[in-house]
Amino acid sequence: MDFDLFVIGGGSAGVRCARIAAGHGARVGVAEERHWGGTCVNIGCVPKKLLVQAGEYGAWADDAIGFGWTIQKDSHDWGKLIAAKDREIGRLEGIYRKLLTGAGATVFDGRAVFVDPHTVEIAGKRITAENIVIATGGYPERLDIPGADLGIVSDDAFFLKTMPRHIVMVGSGYIAVEFAGIFRALGAEVHLVYRQPLPLRGFDQDIRESMAEALLAQGIILHPGATPEKLEAAGDRRVLSIGGGRTLTTDLVFFATGRRANVGGLGLEKAGVALNAKNAIQVDDQLRTSQPHIYAMGDVTDRVNLTPVATAEGHALADSLFGDNPRTVSLRNIPSAVFTTPPVASVGLTEEQASALGPVDIYLTRFTPMRHNLSGRGRKTTMKLVVDKATQKVVGAHMLGEDAAEIIQGIAIAVVMGATKADFDRTIGIHPTAAEEFVTLRTRTRTTDLAKAAE
């Protein structure tokens, strides 16, 4: 065999797995056909956050007036922002490639396709490996409606030559609300079209309600309960039919309607690797596919599609195979954030999920952050703890408000450790912060027991 481990895909999961395995002394090869670092570094989390930050500066300039500043704000230069973003992403991509070669892995710039269960082919060259990892990620999917190709997806959004003045976002998941916030903060008129009554299905109900309010407060126009039917061109403009005879005419339609596992054209049938009902690679808790020496991890398995999960899986597999440290990654209590303005972050169970298991005490607070009493910006913070009534363990923490992601990361440690409400209560706050609210929530808002209600 040419390698002990061959990794297909140089994204978050693949790079970590290859790098750690090489560090353990394994002979490792990695193939990447597009960009090192994968979706997160190139067309996902990292450039997205830079665009979010670009939007925040504009709002801060407005808010500063309430603090005595006189600020002259000119229009935003999208081209300059994208050029700066491209320079930074180029730098990071180089670092990811170097991390691999520095660790002693052999990198292949090209597409790897299975020829048989131990052999892949890259640009006509055959390579054999004892173990193979599939970490090919996912891709954004348009809705299956006539004219969908006239719209864009997140891959395209990072390379727009100019920023359209009028944008329709389709969907209300992570990507839809994040990009709605970005474009609005940079000055566009933004419409959010979604089929649910509230955005962010799957998040806690109070957070979803607060998110709808926050989007409206930002000036985003919401179209709940809408079903896109077709997309047509009218010269340079686009006309989206959203049901009930309603249409929206816009410069740009952006589909943020979910992602699919990237399994096409890999020769998986030749490798004997099976897919599941979601057309993603089926794995067990050791990340093993239906072929025991072939593993899959990250978005290509379509379980929890988050970068830190992918990197944790890559690290765990490398340690298990070559580091004499067999271990798995728990998919419970994974914190995550939505980088809207303000952001949302949560860890653990929602009130709905937890109360379906048994009674829960809810502690909920909404307030205007101190800063905005002077800035005059109508922005509220929502914070919520979900506490198991029987054990008094905090089983969920949710926040919409400035710095939510930074705050919930710390709270997540307590939740993962099984902290109780009393542990939160005996923790002294840091004053004055928003975060201290999580340790000063004295009055129970309500007790919910969906399990009993369902009886």
Residues making contact with ligand NDP (CB under 6 A): 140, 143, 171-176, 178, 194-196, 201, 256-259, 305-306, 336-339
> Whole-number minimum distance, CB 394 to ligand NDP, in Å?
22
Exactly one of 35, 166, 223, 431 is catalytic; which is it?
431
Of 43, 166, 27, 19, the C-alpha closest to 95 is: 19
Q: Which residues pair with 200 in a beta bridge?
A: none
Measured from the CB atom, is 218 or 336 closer to ligand NDP?
336
**Spatial contact of 17 and 314, defined as CB atoms under 8 Å apart:** yes
Measured from the CB atom, is 388 or 402 closer to ligand NDP?
402
> Whole-number minimum distance, CB 201 to ligand NDP, in Å?
3
The secondary structure of residue 200, as a DSSP letter, is: S
Report the 10 Å Cβ neighbour count for 422. 11
Of 425, 291, 305, the C-alpha closest to 363 is: 425
> Whole-number minimum distance, CB 413 to ligand NDP, in Å?
18
Measured from the CB atom, is 109 or 139 closer to ligand NDP?
139
Measured from the CB atom, is 302 or 361 closer to ligand NDP?
302
Instruction: Return all residues near 112 (Cβ < 8 A) that are at least 6 apart.
Output: 6, 8, 31, 33, 120, 121, 122, 127, 266
Measured from the CB atom, is 5 or 167 closer to ligand NDP?
167
Q: Does the active-site annotation cover 35?
A: no
- Give the separation between CA 131 and CA 286, rounded to whole angstroms: 13
Q: Kindly report the backbone phi and psi dihedral angles of residue 79, in degrees, each rounded to the nearest multiple of 5, phi listed first.
A: -60, -40
- Give the separation between CA 39 and CA 44, rounded to whole angstroms: 5
Of 165, 149, 99, 105, the C-alpha closest to 129 is: 105
Report the 10 Å Cβ neighbour count for 375. 19
Give the residue carrying structure tokens 């996912």.
138
- Show which residues are catalytic: 431
